[in-house]
Structure 1
Amino acid sequence: MTDGDPVLAAGCVLWRRSPSGQGIELALVHRPKWTDWSHPKGKLKRGEDARQAAVREVLEETGMACNLGSELPTTRYTVEGNLKEVRYWAAEATAGEFLPNKEVDRLLWLPPAAARIRLTRDRDKELVTALLDALHLPRNAP
């Protein structure tokens, strides 16, 4: 761990109703810098609160506008020797279109079970369960 204040960040477990009408799908982003699959998130900008940052990061990384729902568990971990604290919200995608960019080169919409498998880090997998609980859906949702 490091001394000093943590790097503050915010993000969302972004979801939509499945086009098939059966359940929901989650948006996962692939970040080439880290070669990982994760939920959209990023650092707070000066003067920005965590809710604003979460919505901004979703838009920047996925191209999607969203409505924030319940706050989900905050994650804490170290990156390059610095403590990072990320606040998350459940967020329903309302509109938009993904365009690859410098930070995110791919976006996948997956059912919760498949999202858990694809996510790189366990802390992100745990957020899938937290989202399902927040939406009052079964934890074993396909």
Structure 2
Amino acid sequence: MVSAFKGKNNGTLACDVHQGELVKVVAQFIKKQGKVVAPAHFDFAKTSHGKELPPSNPDWYYVRLASLLRNLYYYKSTGVGKFRRVYGCRKNYGSSREHSVKGNQGVIRKALQQLEALGYVEKHEDGGRKITSGGKKVLDRMAVQIAKQQ
């Protein structure tokens, strides 16, 4: 899908391409930069206490960074608490009913701090974090690359 707006980059923005592909491409871009290193214990960390095992994808941390950046593209100011609800899951209690649980706060906080260090995210004056123009440029450039491949 191509945007009706015809400006720079033929009008292709991050919202005009498939979001799953966008997250994968941005994750690879962040990994290739080499500026972000996942903390050592994140090889064993679960993304929520409702999960039984840690993620099986070895690059899951870069995918989470890209996903956080994409979410901040759409929502003006979002904090760690909102992202905990977004990345939560259903916890299996055996024979009892399932309940929704929140995501791992430490993973989200560290990821947002590293996005801040890259200059893609900054703190919002009303609380939470917001995407910078540099972060928007990265997402839009990757969207143009995806659009050219299609």
TM-score normalised by the chain length of structure 1: 0.23
More helix by share: 2
TM-score normalised by the chain length of structure 2: 0.23
